[in-house]
Amino acid sequence: MRLIGVSSQDGRTVTGHAGRCRRFFLFGDRGGPMMGTLELTAGQVLHRGPPGADHPLGRIKVLVTAGMRPGLQASLASCGINVFITDEQSPELAVRRFLEGAPSLPCLDGRR
């Protein structure tokens, strides 16, 4: 099963600035309810570098977010993590849209 991470700094909605986000929801790739949450330390944020195997986000295969900078998207891609940018506020609906094959929004500058 692929693990899907959703950036949610506020703990309720899909948020942007994924490189600085410290809170993530985890979902499986078969839909269903949220499987858990991750809280990163300031030193673990994605802005500091791509997640390795020992990083808390190292197991995800998809990152759903409301925005990020192109450099972070490229860095995550080099680690095998796909990015899905959405304007959907609900984490559950955003994951569903990804699983249904909806197109990702373009990667802009993360200021959403």
Tokens matching residue 18: 């994924």
Range of the domain at 53: 3-99
Q: Specify whether the CB–CB gap between 107 and 85 falls below 8 A.
A: yes
Give 85's Cβ-side CA count (13 Å radius). Answer: 18
pLDDT at residue number 50:
79
**pLDDT digit string, tens, across residues 45-102:** 999 987 888 899 999 999 999 999 999 999 999 999 999 999 999 999 999 999 999 9
pLDDT at residue number 110:
43
d(CA 5, CA 105) in angstroms, rounded, equals 17
CATH of the domain at 75: 3.30.420.130
Is residue 15 assigned to a domain? Answer: yes
**pLDDT digit string, tens, across residues 16-50:** 999 999 999 999 999 889 999 999 999 999 999 87
Q: How many domains would you assign to the chain?
A: 1
Instruction: List residues bridging with 7 in a β-sheet.
Output: 24
User: Is 111's pLDDT higher than 70?
Assistant: no
Is residue 104 assigned to a domain? Answer: no
pLDDT at residue number 32:
86
Is residue 87 assigned to a domain? Answer: yes
User: Is 112's pLDDT higher than 80?
Assistant: no
d(CA 47, CA 20) in angstroms, rounded, equals 6
Is residue 109 assigned to a domain? Answer: no
Q: Which residues contact 59 (CB under 8 A, 6 or more apart)?
A: 3
Q: Which residues contact 61 (CB under 8 A, 6 or more apart)?
A: 2, 3, 4, 29, 80, 81, 82
Whether this prediction's pTM lies above 0.95 is answered by no
